[in-house]
Amino acid sequence: MPELPEVEIIRLGLQKYLVGRKIEDVEVRVPKIFVGDKKNVIGATITGLNRIGKGLIIELDNDFVLAVHLKMTGQLVYVDNKIKGPILSPKVGGEKLPSKYSHIIFTLDNNSFLYYNDLRRFGWIKVVRKDKLMQIPFFKELGPEPLKDLTLKKFKDIVLKSNLVIKVLLMDQKKIGGIGNIYANDALFEARIDPRRSAKQISPEEIERLYKAILKVLQKGLDYGGSSDENFVNALGQKGNYQKHTLVYGRAGETCPVCGGIIQKIKLGGRGTYFCSKCQH
């Protein structure tokens, strides 16, 4: 699932190409993905893009916005005649768009297009009035997010009040917005904290260390253009590179870069969890 860095990379890319574009038509190939009346966005001009946790907001010059959640395998890819031969990742479903995974197609002015691709079809695009946006449960219930409004004090309060194990807590979007499996694993390794520990048992010093580790790995994810370990591509359909630089995520059986031990994989909260039992306590 695209996490905070991946969604931010998509936002930055789309902002560059979409702002000022007029939506001329919307082709809905999979109705369950598109919620709302497309007539409320056809003819509108895109004025900006915002991100709330793992959610994207496409802002329009009328009373509506497009709220997007990519879920596990969603993608938003922009194409026009001025972008000369972008190297599309095979992850979009083919060398050219639309592909068999292109379920929503926005036709924009100036012969340009925005494709919503989704292998597993779990994501959604909702047409919603601007003043109703924060009533969507996903946004309404979202916790504070790193690199925005999650301060160290807020983070300490969240951790010390929780009965969850720390790895599961980090991924609970109602507690902390934006962190998913990749960056939770790497942040815990960076902070040398065992992902199986109870959040309540973590010391204030360890909490501060983990807070800094979260900011560090998320920024690293941004710097490397996101992680394409699974289906993530940027706004031009290209892969990111963080998957080549993960600390422990996806590295079961490999040698720990710090102590020389072996990175293990277990399941916590139903998700693959990677850690070094020698380094993380």
Query: pLDDT tens digit string along 154-200?
Result: 999 999 999 999 999 999 999 999 999 999 999 999 999 999 999 99
Q: Is 156 a catalytic residue?
A: no
Among 54, 167, 239, 251, the active-site one is 54
Contact 244, 155 (CB under 8 A): no
Domains parsed from the chain with CATH numbers: 4-140 (3.20.190.10), 152-275 (1.10.8.50)
Q: Is 251 a catalytic residue?
A: no
Does 95 have pLDDT greater than 90? no
Give the torsion sign (CA, 230, 271, 149, 53).
Answer: positive
Q: Is 190 a catalytic residue?
A: no
Q: Cα-atom radius of gyration of the chain, to the nearest Å?
A: 20
Phi, psi of 58 (to 5 degrees): -100, 110
CA 172 to the chain's CA centroid: 14
Phi, psi of 221 (to 5 degrees): -60, -40
How many Å apart are CA 19 and CA 4, to the nearest integer? 21
Query: What DSSP element (H or E) covers 186?
Result: helix 181-191
The pLDDT-based confidence of 86 (bands split at 50, 70, 90) is low
Among 2, 98, 146, 195, the active-site one is 2
Among 22, 71, 216, 271, the active-site one is 271
- Give pLDDT tens digits for 190-199: 999 999 999 9
pTM for the whole thing? 0.96
Q: What is the mean pLDDT of residues 231-248?
A: 96
User: How many CA atoms lie less than 13 Å away from 243 in the CB half-sphere?
Assistant: 13
The pLDDT-based confidence of 270 (bands split at 50, 70, 90) is very high
Q: Is 271 a catalytic residue?
A: yes
By C-alpha distance, which of 254, 189, 238, 224 is closest to 75? 238
CA distances from 151 to 148, 156, 211, 219, 222 (A): 8, 9, 9, 16, 19
- Give pLDDT tens digits for 96-142: 899 999 999 999 999 999 999 999 999 999 999 999 999 999 999 99
